[in-house]
């Protein structure tokens, strides 16, 4: 990992390039060098519009170009030149070209692939001109870095969760894209190339591969800078590599400078830049963001703060080059330049691992003189494992992955992968398996050994690995020219290489031939190819002994002796071998083979063997081998006994019964019944729980009563579950499975307890209180008008697991029933849940009623629409007893236990009261500070659409009126499911960058459980589809429409002038940073006075028909897990149905985007044309608008989808909304509105102000007068 050599000698056969960049090496040794700040931040200051991104040749370009900053080098070169010059004059020594997205891959989003050369060449010449002009003006030398960004594709992560092996771009395509970009940059006169903002190291390796190809054959080389991006405090890139693994993966390109930029501010980046410096002897670059982004995506860090942060880095000797990324400006660079001007730069020290072989997967592997033997897992080899071969040939790659994972778990530090089998497409199989490994962090953490006798297969594997691999293998068998060509390619990929002891004459068998070939190969690799000696691994051929042929008897001894000589004469190299070859003559006698391997390795390692391909889980300890067998193996290895082979065969025959038996399945079943019950509960296994519970019940000496079984092993197991969940060592799906096991056990015991209770009652009456067995009684309810209960059910399960008696009243429960249940059950706590905004008012009502009847029970508030602020401001003041917002199920136990523990209750409530008082003060202070436009002024600043020139944007739907869909095909919805909310429901939240699906599967903390949960979900989905357990129904309608101020007038499809209904809109009023647009949904419909005929669409869909029946069956089986799973999947299917129908609307039913070709992922990111806002949500927060929808389309009669008193849809898994087609329509949040708009809205809707305030409570910018 040494820095690049100094300026290369000019080669007349190569195209000349700027050689100024080599001066930077000396500069970085003398002082800290400055690189510029953000280009995008400066461009944004110019507030450019679409015309700025076009010139005469692009005037009729079919795609929008606004936002494509790279094209500005062509269309607005004046702006880009000025920005470069500003940064140079502020103190930057280096400025990056405006080419961050300059590959055809990124430009494809704008259909500008044909302009890639021009974009990069012009970007380079502009920066070059700015640098030269500043040099003339100031006399200071300035440098231009050709910026090469990461593109918007990734080689290490699949865009499709269903196909984790799929990639939407290939390594070769990226190499070509980066090569095209680098050519233009070099032609434009850049002084160095900067491969930056690397979130996937495989992409960076493609860029470096392309650059090295150019330097080898076309262009004189220039310095290379490399900068990665650590995405969060885990210290890993987006593709999962640690910082040190990233350094190892790219250092083969010998960058002059290496470091980090973007993603984090300086404070967060510090430990990672420090680690980078320790892992490299190159110079270190660091250009962080201006702190972390604020809630609006902007950056608040001042230049002074940035300067102080960089001064801290500089004083501690961490950096050679500093600058800024997102949010930084010339002022920031000026402050940094002033801060570090007198500080000495970091002195690159010789790397402590310079004599190590360095490899990497997601994590680094260092192999040095003091390292233990490196186990290379051998079972992912179609030639070495019949099972693996069968699975690959049958296409069962998931099961083959399990073999790889087991190899790593058993100690393999490198994973050998071989797909050389006559009936396989080796290249395709290698690529697919390597891509699948990339999706499994538990496997991908170790380096790969790409193993094939076909070099094309090796290249296929190398193209799919972001880490530093081993190639196994090349040799001199095809002559020196072939050997050198392959070695150069391997070096360009940055891999280490295994060299077999073969040459033009054949395989080396004896010691001297092994040594001769390895020494010759070493000299060629180090002197001709320039290979790092530490990256050379020799395999001097472990050959089979005990074959019956006398000339084979010295093979073991010759290998070990050759190893010692090779290590001495080829300094830095490593020695490896395929250990299984040694014992091949004893196939089928695994216990003999494993003993032979152990003996062979015991001696070979002592003589310098560093690594070997061996089944890491099948090696007996040398000292544990049977003494007779050990002596036989030693005699064979050293060829000490001419009859050794016959003796070992005889030993094998005598001991043939000593083969290993398969691991006993369910070994825990041999434990005591108490241990078995606890194990079942913790692991969520219900297979044996009834029989184990019965066994415990009938052990009357230990458990005289059935209740004792619950109080003993069952509660002990659930207590452990609660502790593990509280400590974050179990996750919600596991807890719910544990609860299912518990319920089945208790259900088995209930009849016996009832019989016992009845008998006792008949004798003397039952004086034992059932409540004494519980930590407390909690009543839970979803309030009146709301039908959503998944979150509430989860809370109930979690509390039940922690020994609380839970009384769940269900959904749509009116206040009087809730209060009756609290009194009847003698509840210690009441919990209310709600999802829709009207539920908030109902919660206030319940709190008032609790106060009125003088209840003394704490009230817990939860649900998606609730918040700590609303609880503190709106609910808590209505009830004198504690009112506490519970964020999610994991907090419920802590809150309940704190409320019911007399020792800590007072202090806990004191803290809550202080916290909520602060929340209330902040709320009212914000209301006082917030400014609002008068409604008339906000209307004047509505969304700007030129309706006189928008005729082409208005498309008549294919029909007017409604179309109903019954029993819609569920299978067709699967590809449209957005899974992230599903994992949110189960409170499985990965840590960034693995917070979203499918990356959550890679999360170190919740990934495994997410994968299990997903498997259960897919299984239930299949059952639902195959057995028609749920039905999807929906209705879509289109109507002529026009806008009148803030309202949308809907006309009869048959008589266009006849108004049939009106949708009322609400307009933004809260002042913004730029008060140029205050939106209302009516803005997206042509005004009536324009004379333009426009249209509006409506829809309502549901996938919840059948949910109740499914849940009742699961409830009868005490299966809470499946109840919650069923409801969660119904919700996902309903949202997927909405997505599918909307796609049909855009491309067919309305047809305003017929050419659309969009993935489900892009739909979830709202990249489609048009919008579908729903009443009750931010763009129109008034739920009462649903009533108009239901009347207009007769939704309930057509589909069965109804509305509750609070206007929640039934079934709960339902979605509804309006369709807007205009290309300028967009989602927005109305936010807070003032009293003038509430009064105006009430008049338009012909309802009282108090009624309007009730439905819009959370949107009021004032406190309404209490009635």
Enumerate the active-site residues.
786, 788, 839
**What is the Cα 74 distance to its own chain's centre?**
36
Reduced to 3 states, what is the DSSP secondary structure of residue 854?
Answer: coil
Nearest one of 393, 383, 389 to 451, comparing CA atoms: 383
Q: Which pairs count as long-range contacts for 1059-1064, CB under 8 Å and 24+ apart, including other chains?
A: 1060/1192, 1061/1188, 1061/1191, 1061/1192, 1062/1188, 1063/1096, 1063/1180, 1063/1185, 1063/1188, 1063/1218, 1064/1182, 1064/1185, 1064/1241, 1064/1244, 1064/1245
Residue with tokens 């030398």, as numbered in its chain:
141
The helix or strand, by DSSP H or E, that contains position 418, with its residue range, turns out to be strand 414-418
Q: Distance (Å, rounded) from C-alpha 870 to C-alpha 858? A: 17
Q: Distance (Å, rounded) from C-alpha 1182 to C-alpha 1066? A: 9
Q: Distance (Å, rounded) from C-alpha 371 to C-alpha 368? A: 5
Q: Taking the CB of residue 669, how many other CB atoms lie within 10 A of it?
A: 13
Q: Is the dihedral of CA 610, 613, 618, 623 positive or negative?
A: negative
The DSSP call for residue 62 is S
Q: Distance (Å, rounded) from C-alpha 155 to C-alpha 888? A: 36
The DSSP call for residue 529 is I
Q: Compute and round to an integer the Cα radius of gyration of the chain.
A: 36
Nearest one of 818, 878, 828, 817 to 852, comparing CA atoms: 878
Nearest one of 808, 774, 778 to 791, comparing CA atoms: 808
Angle between helices 330-340 and 303-315 (to 10 degrees): 30
Pairing of the two strands 470-474 and 496-500: parallel
Contact between 433 and 380 under an 8 Å Cβ cutoff? The reply is: yes
Helices (DSSP H) in 864-997: which residue ranges?
A: 868-870, 889-900, 905-929, 935-940, 980-985
Pairing of the two strands 1031-1044 and 1047-1051: antiparallel
Pairing of the two strands 414-418 and 448-451: parallel
Phi and psi at residue 806, to the nearest 5°: -110, 125
Residue with tokens 């436009």, as numbered in its chain:
933
The helix or strand, by DSSP H or E, that contains position 332, with its residue range, turns out to be helix 330-340
Q: Distance (Å, rounded) from C-alpha 722 to C-alpha 890? A: 10
The 3-state DSSP composition of the chain as helix, strand, coil percent (nearest 5) reads 50, 15, 35
Reduced to 3 states, what is the DSSP secondary structure of residue 600?
Answer: helix
**What is the Cα 219 distance to its own chain's centre?**
39
Nearest one of 602, 606, 648 to 624, comparing CA atoms: 602
Q: How many residues does the chain have?
A: 1267
């Amino acid at each position: 990992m040494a820095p690049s050599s100094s300026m290369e000698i000019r080669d007349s056969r190569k195209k000349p390039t700027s050689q100024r960049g080599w001066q930077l090496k000396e500069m970085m040794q003398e002082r800290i060098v400055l690189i510029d700040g953000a280009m995008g931040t400066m461009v944004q200051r110019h507030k450019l519009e679409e015309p700025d991104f076009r010139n005469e040749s692009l005037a009729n370009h079919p795609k929008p170009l606004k936002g494509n900053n790279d094209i500005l080098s062509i269309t607005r070169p004046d702006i880009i030149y000025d920005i470069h010059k500003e940064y140079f004059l502020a103190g930057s020594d280096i400025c990056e070209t405006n080419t961050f997205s300059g590959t055809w891959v990124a430009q494809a989003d704008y259909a500008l692939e044909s302009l890639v050369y021009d974009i990069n060449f012009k970007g380079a010449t502009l920066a070059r001109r700015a640098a030269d002009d500043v040099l003339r003006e100031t006399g200071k030398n300035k440098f231009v870095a050709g910026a090469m960004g990461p593109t918007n594709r990734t080689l290490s992560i699949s865009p499709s969760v269903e196909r984790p092996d799929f990639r939407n771009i290939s390594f070769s395509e990226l190499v070509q894209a980066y090569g095209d970009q680098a050519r233009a940059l070099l032609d434009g006169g850049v002084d160095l190339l900067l491969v930056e903002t690397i979130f996937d190291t495989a992409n960076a390796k493609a860029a470096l591969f392309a650059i090295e190809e150019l330097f080898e054959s076309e262009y004189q080389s220039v310095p290379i800078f490399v900068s990665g991006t650590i995405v969060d405090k885990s210290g890993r890139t987006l593709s999962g590599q640690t910082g040190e693994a990233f350094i190892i993966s790219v250092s083969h390109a010998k960058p002059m400078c290496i470091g980090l930029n973007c993603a984090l501010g300086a404070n967060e980046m510090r430990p990672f830049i420090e680690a980078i410096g320790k892992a490299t002897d190159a110079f270190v670059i660091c250009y962080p963001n201006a702190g972390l982004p604020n809630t609006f995506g902007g950056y608040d860090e001042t230049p002074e703060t940035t300067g102080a942060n960089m001064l801290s880095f500089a004083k501690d000797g961490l950096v050679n080059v500093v600058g800024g990324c997102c949010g930084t400006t010339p002022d920031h660079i000026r402050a940094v330049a002033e801060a570090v001007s007198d500080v000495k730069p970091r002195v690159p020290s010789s790397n402590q691992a310079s004599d190590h072989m360095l490899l990497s997967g997601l994590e680094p592997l260092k192999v040095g003189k003091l390292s233990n033997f490196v186990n290379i897992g051998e079972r992912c080899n179609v030639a070495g494992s019949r099972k693996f071969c069968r699975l690959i040939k049958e296409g069962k790659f998931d099961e083959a992955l399990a073999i790889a994972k087991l190899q790593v778990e058993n100690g393999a530090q490198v994973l050998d992968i071989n797909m050389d089998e006559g009936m396989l497409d080796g290249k395709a199989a290698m690529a697919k398996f390597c891509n699948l490994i990339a999706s499994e962090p538990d496997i991908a953490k170790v380096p790969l050994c790409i193993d094939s006798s076909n070099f094309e297969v090796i290249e296929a594997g190398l193209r799919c690995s972001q880490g530093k691999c081993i190639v196994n293998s090349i040799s001199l068998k095809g002559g020196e020219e072939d050997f050198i060509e392959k070695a150069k390619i391997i070096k360009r990929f940055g891999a280490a290489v295994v060299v077999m002891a073969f040459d033009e004459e054949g395989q080396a068998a004896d010691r001297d031939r092994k040594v001769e070939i390895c020494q010759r190969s070493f000299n060629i690799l180090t002197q001709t190819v320039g290979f790092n000696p530490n990256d050379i691994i020799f395999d001097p051929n472990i050959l089979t002994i005990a074959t019956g042929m006398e000339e084979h008897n010295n093979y073991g001894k010759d290998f070990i002796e050759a190893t010692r000589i090779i290590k001495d004469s080829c300094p830095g190299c490593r020695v490896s071998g395929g250990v299984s070859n040694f014992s091949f003559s004893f196939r089928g006698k695994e216990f003999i083979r494993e003993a032979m391997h152990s003996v062979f390795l015991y001696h070979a390692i002592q003589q310098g063997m560093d690594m070997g391909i061996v089944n890491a889980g099948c090696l007996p300890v040398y000292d544990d081998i049977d003494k007779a067998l050990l002596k036989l193996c030693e005699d064979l290895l050293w060829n000490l006994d001419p009859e050794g082979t016959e003796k070992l065969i005889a030993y094998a025959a005598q001991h043939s019964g000593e083969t290993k038996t398969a691991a006993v399945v369910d070994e825990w079943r041999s434990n005591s019944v108490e241990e078995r019950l606890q194990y079942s509960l913790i692991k969520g296994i219900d297979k044996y729980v009834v029989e184990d519970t019965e066994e415990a019940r009938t052990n009357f000496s230990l458990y005289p009563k059935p209740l004792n079984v619950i109080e003993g092993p069952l509660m002990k197991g659930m207590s452990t579950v609660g502790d593990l969940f509280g400590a974050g060592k179990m996750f919600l799906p596991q807890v719910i499975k544990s609860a299912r096991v518990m319920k089945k056990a208790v259900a088995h015991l209930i009849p016996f307890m009832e019989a016992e209770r009845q008998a006792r009652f008949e004798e003397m009456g039952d004086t034992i209180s059932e409540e004494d067995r519980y930590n407390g009684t909690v009543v839970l309810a979803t309030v009146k008008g709301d039908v959503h209960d998944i979150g509430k059910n989860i809370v109930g399960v979690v509390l039940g697991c922690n020994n609380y008696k839970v009384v769940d009243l269900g959904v749509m429960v009116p206040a009087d029933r809730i209060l009756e249940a609290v009194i009847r059950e003698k509840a210690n706590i009441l919990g209310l849940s709600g999802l829709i905004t009207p539920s908030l008012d109902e919660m206030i009502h319940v709190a008032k009623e609790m106060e009125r009847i003088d209840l003394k029970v704490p009230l817990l508030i939860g649900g998606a629409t609730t918040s700590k602020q609303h609880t503190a401001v709106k609910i808590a003041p209505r009830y004198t007893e504690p009112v506490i917002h519970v964020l999610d199920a994991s907090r419920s136990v802590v809150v309940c236990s704190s409320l019911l523990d007399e020792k800590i209750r007072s202090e806990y409530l004191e803290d809550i009261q202080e916290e909520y008082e602060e929340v209330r003060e902040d709320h009212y202070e914000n209301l006082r500070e917030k400014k609002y436009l008068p409604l008339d002024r906000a209307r004047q600043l509505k969304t700007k659409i030129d309706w006189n020139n928008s005729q082409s944007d208005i498309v008549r739907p294919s029909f007017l009126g409604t179309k109903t869909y019954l029993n819609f095909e569920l299978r067709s919805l699967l590809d449209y499911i957005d899974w992230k909310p599903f994992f949110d429901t189960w409170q499985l939240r990965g840590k960034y960058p693995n917070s979203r699906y499918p990356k959550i599967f890679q999360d170190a903390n919740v990934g495994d459980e997410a994968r299990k949960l997903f498997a259960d979900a897919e299984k239930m989905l299949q059952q639902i589809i195959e057995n028609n357990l749920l039905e999807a129904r929906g209705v879509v309608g289109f109507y002529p429409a026009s806008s009148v101020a803030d309202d949308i007038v809907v006309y009869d499809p048959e008589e266009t002038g006849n108004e049939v209904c009106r949708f009322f809109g609400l307009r933004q009023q809260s002042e913004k940073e730029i008060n140029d647009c205050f939106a209302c949904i009516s803005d997206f419909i042509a005004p009536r006075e324009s004379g333009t005929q426009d249209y509006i669409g409506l829809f309502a869909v549901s996938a919840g028909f059948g949910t109740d029946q499914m849940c009742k069956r699961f409830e009868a089986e005490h299966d809470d897990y499946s109840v919650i799973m069923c409801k969660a999947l119904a919700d996902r299917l309903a949202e997927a149905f909405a997505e599918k129908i909307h796609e049909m609307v855009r491309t067919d039913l309305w047809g305003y985007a017929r050419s659309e070709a969009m993935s489900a992922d892009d739909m979830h990111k709202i990249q489609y044309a048009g919008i579908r806002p729903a009443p009750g949500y931010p763009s129109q927060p008034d739920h009462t608008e649903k009533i108009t929808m239901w009347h207009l389309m007769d939704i309930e009669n057509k589909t069965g989808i109804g509305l509750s008193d609070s206007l929640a849809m039934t079934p709960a898994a339902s979605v509804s909304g309006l369709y807007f087609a205009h290309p300028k329509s967009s989602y927005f949040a109305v936010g807070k509105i003032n009293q003038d708009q509430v009064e105006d809205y009430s008049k338009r809707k012909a309802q009282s102000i108090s009624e309007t305030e009730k439905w819009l409570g959370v949107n009021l910018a004032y406190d309404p007068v209490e009635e």
